[in-house]
Structure 1
Amino acid sequence: MFLAGEEAMPTVIEVIDTAITAADAYHREDLVARLRQSRARVLSQEVQVLVVGEFNQGKSYLVNALVGTPVCPVADDISPAVTTTVRFASEPEAFLVTGDSREPIEHVADIRSGTVEVRLPRSVLDGGLTLVDSPGPEPCDAILIVSDSSSEYTDTELDLIKQAQLLAPVVICVLSKMDLYPAWRDVAELNRAKIDPPLVPVSAELRMHAMATGDAQLNEESGFPELLRVLRDALARRSAVYDVLAATDDLISMMTDELESLRSDTFDPRSIRWQQTLNDGITDLIADIDHDLRDRLRDVLRVAEAELDAVDPAKVGDEFAEWLQQKELECTSATFAWMMTRARWLAGHVAEQFGDGRVLPEIREAPELTDAVSEYAQGEPEKFGLGQKLIVGMRGGYGGTLMIGMASTIVGVAMINPLSIGAGLLLGGKTVQEERKRLLQRRQADAKAALRKHVDDVIFQAGKQSRDRLREIQRTLRDHFAAHAEQMHRSMVDAAADRKTRMRDLNAELARVRELARAAREVAA
């Protein structure tokens, strides 16, 4: 079994149920919902582990190596738009998941978008472990952040790790492809100095070879046994009670703030709720907008690469660049429009915490992404004019003329004759055609490389612009509602019947919640 033994189950459930009662008594519906989800996960014994990372870092190959079979497509030209879920079953099977429906499929590699569920009879999955090859992080039991060993973490990867720590109780950083980079140990040390989560170097190639040959020592050298040990240890200690500890910390903080406010005679419960609502909403909005932007632009990238495979980039350069710019503008405009809609909804949701219908603050529209990145440029194509054609054709034709001419001399015919001249013309023309085809393929490859670099630049710049805009919105809403809360407090009449009684009750509740947190830590230990 992947999880801890069933004998610990009653204690975990008892602690979670007590936490649900405490959160419900304090009217924290958000915590109640989260704890009930945690209770359902514990009862099902399913542990969901997301595998995320930047493009082409080896996360799909990591999932394949964990289960010992190629369940996730691995190729440089495949976008991570497909979410692949791998769980245990007694017989292999695969489905395309759409809503509540599951359609059986034969070849997972044929799916280019959506959600695929693969079930395999693998011992590593038996007991509830579920692996999810996902485009981005989301709430789950554990998250593996995959980055290759070529270089130390970038700012984008460090941001991804911080985001994952907000969404899962267990975060493990995986340094992939250590077999390809001799300096992986230096990279690992540099990365460990930058992060809090554990970091485990692995080699999927060594793992797959070890599983194919049954080589236990090579399997240990691949790093995958160590990764599974770290994952099991972290989950066993933290996953079952993480939500309980998070809930108790939240309740303790709330009760402590209320006590401090009562002691200074300045308590207003709404001053706590609106700040929590605003901070949580902005955090969720930043993650959702970043994921939506990446998903839209990667769809454009797939379509654009397919278009370049069918045309000569040198002939459609201007039209293609104009089409690409228009598509990018449509994607970023749609994402920014959704961002502003969500931001205004969040402002209204925060306003509901005050229970009045006052005018909301004005939120400035997000600007379009027009000058944030340079225009797409393919570069100057290699020329193949009449002079180059003549040179290439003469080079190919010379060989054909010489070969046929020398064969003709054997039968007493002159070396230069109509047959040898015809052969030279034929081979010269074929050589010109092959050179033209080679140059076309080279132009297509160069254009697609420039396209990928350009789209990555757009994703980076647009993502930064969206995050900056959301932080500006957060400051605007914070200042507005803080001023309103202060005004309400100045005009509020103390309606508490007995403040001392409330403080005594709060201290008793605080002691019970702290005892609950202590019990949760004992379960984790």
Structure 2
Amino acid sequence: MDQVTDATRTVELVRLLDESAARARAAERPDLAEKLVLSKRRLASGAWNVLVAGEFKRGKSTVLNALLGVPVCGSDPVAHTAVPTVVRYGATAEAWVRAEGPWETVPSEHLPSEHLPSEHLPSEGAAVERTPAEPAPVPIDVRAAADHALRGTDDSGNPLRTVEIALPRELLRDGLVLLDTPGIGGGFAAAGAAAAMRALSLADGVIVVTDASQELTAAEVEFLRHAASVCPNVLCVMTKTDLYPQWRRILDLDRAHLRDAGIQAELVAVSAPLRELALDTGDPALLAESGFPVLVDRIGAQLLARRAERARQQAAAAVHGALRQLSDALSTEHPALTEPDQRAETLRRVEDRRRRALAVSGAQASRWLNTVNDRFADIQARVDLDLAEACRRLEAEAGKRIKESDPTRDWPEITPWLQRRTNQELTDVHTRLLALIDEAAGEVSAVFDAGAGDVGAVARGAGGPADGLTLSRLDGRGAGKLEVGMQAARGWSLSSSVVTTLLVTTLHPGFLIALPITAVLGTAFAAKAVGGYRTGRLDAARGEASRAVAAYLGQSRADAARAAADLIRHSRGRVRDYFLDQSAELTASVRQEQQAAERAAYADRQAAQTRTDQARTEVAEVSQLLARAELLAGSGSVR
């Protein structure tokens, strides 16, 4: 088994999930069976969200079009991508545009599935949350998708939020979701770099695109360094090798820059025109020269392989948890069947455990629920404070620099400096936010596990079942954090969190009007604003520059605060729903144990013997399933 391929391991896990679900149904645990079915669904087609990022006019959209074999992303020699384009798998080619929607208050149980994970839908009566009201996507011709992405508006001139496309492509079949993003010019000195970093931190992977016209600039290396720090799966692509004969020298220089910067990312050179020509002529040598076969292989080996391994780990954990609950019921039933004189004591212990389990989901639930609310309220307060302190620090630094300079002359230098410093500070705040969410999930998990641990197990309380019913490998596993913490933060879909945070880059023409304060820091605008004071009114120019800085920092803080609040609200709900599910499973498990113990206590001798033999057979089946699950979980690793 150690030498099995990832594909074979996935097939074995699918078979194991099916058999474990059947075992759960036979044990009258449809809730566990449904959970295993959901795990199987995620294993087969879980989304893996990859952003395609880079500076303007580097060929991001062209690379995606060549990769997909159809021009669905906006590509133009002059115009640039105005809104994100999301491309996922579909049985037929379809496209939609989604307009910007107003903010309104709706019950969280009515939220669309892209706002809440399907496996953790809120229970009835869930709290009301403020969330963007999603207008229904409007179908469009797939051939018009690229034009909409470039314009950023629908046919009526309304600003768009996203262009969404479904294509029947093998590359996308396993769950890969690609997002073509608006360009970021100037690295961390770009106006939208902080928003791009927030988006990258919530994605599963990123493809950073440069081109062969020149070696990586300092701004690109800086962007790559930050991207690698917030997103663990980074792949670099160098385009336009057909246009520049010296591309191999540029490729070597770029790889050296990556090594010198300590960036662990492979760089692949490609040519979109060569790929298109190779597909038209059927020339395999030309296709190999285009570099796209290597790019497809790297996407599969480095990006999708990690998604598959994570899905396998989650599936194995789901099997493990389900089998533990089934074994607890069998272990509880055994003494009631084989030890008639201990039946009263067994029933007493079962009843005691039932009360403890109900307490975890009832009265004691307030402990971990309060921990969820308190910790995430603390996180919100901490982020607000961090943003306020960062803006005060930036305003002081900018004020000092303005005071020591002549804004009418030095503003073109102050602008990129301020944007770089602002992006650095906001990215640091966001990184600390993700760490705080992970810590909060760990604290909630500890509180929940403490309450669940008090429930105990009837069989362990009685000294353990007979040798034939011992499943010691199932012991010692608490609720864990496999699907909470950072997974809660990063579990948000591209069509919600990532797109929302990218929209504050002000690249969209509609947003240049909606957010005029941000546009104040545009070099041309700001230079014009202070240019009228060149006639000796230096103090007035400095005052105007200070007001422009304050306005920019205020808008940047508001954008970052809104994105942080959205992320905190989403993560709080995901963590809460995860442990609500765990609590419900614990209650159902104990209820089943009680029913099994009561049936055994009142069974006659012949029926008890028959059931004992059946239970031994069931334990053998559970033991075999568990052994297979642990073998599969232990044989895989993320490469």
TM-score with structure 1 length normalisation?
0.48
Larger radius of gyration: 1
